[in-house]
Amino acid sequence: MAHDALKVAVLISGRGSNLQALLDACADPAYPARIVRVISNVAGAFGLERARAAGVETQVIRHKEYDSREAFDAALDQAIRASGADVVCLAGFMRLLTPGFTAAWQGRLVNIHPSLLPSFKGLHTHQRALEAGVKLHGCTVHLVTPDLDGGPILAQAAVPVLPGDDEDSLAARVLEQEHRLYPLALRLLAEGRVRVENGVARIAGLADSGVRLLNPGP
């Protein structure tokens, strides 16, 4: 593993499937980031077991033990800084972070959201996509700002919405792409290829592949 690899803390609340994708990527010595700590607000989160199996330090900070969001976020901030992390990745972390926390980690706080932002911010994205009749759905990795699901977009992956899809089948198709997209976006950040201008993330070194998506096809 590179000596100057980006140090990452990951926040989780549940099973940690996106965490596993990041752990798998970081297991490659050539990958430019490494996870130094996984923190959960839920003691029984299965993602903690994934982290321990990978030899990554874990920590539980229960939000219910704090009398305010600000106090909880202050404890999170202290733990992250103690880990030496340069960047924080949210991977199924089911807590709204305070503006103070997001400001403190501006440009270094990353989230993955199960829709093609700016469409379908918030919860129940797959059902809402089906109800809207969209033909393409997907996921987005973005930098976090105080605006809900509104930060600069780093990367997106699209999937077709197929005839007969229900919420579960569409969610599974999107999740498969989430596991590919999150490590890619973190790599771009770790390689210093991201520059934010006027709220838009510009990625250095990208070429137009000429690939276009059509659904339904001609």
- The CA dihedral of 115, 121, 125, 128, to the nearest 10 degrees, is -120
| Residue 137 a catalytic site member | no
Q: Prior bond to 32 cis, omega within 30? A: no
Instruction: Give one DSSP letter per residue of 24-80, joined into a string.
Output: HHHTSTTSSEEEEEEEESSTT-HHHHHHHHTT--EEE--GGGSSSHHHHHHHHHHHH
Q: Strand ranges (DSSP E) for 120-184?
A: 136-143, 153-160
Residues β-bridged to residue 89:
10, 110
Residue 14 token pair: 């549940």
Q: Cα dihedral sign for 173, 179, 182, 185?
A: negative
Rounded distance between C-alpha atoms, residue 151 and residue 156, angstroms: 13
Instruction: Please identify which of the residues 3, 63, 113, 142 carries the catalytic annotation.
Output: 113
Question: Active-site residue numbers?
Answer: 113
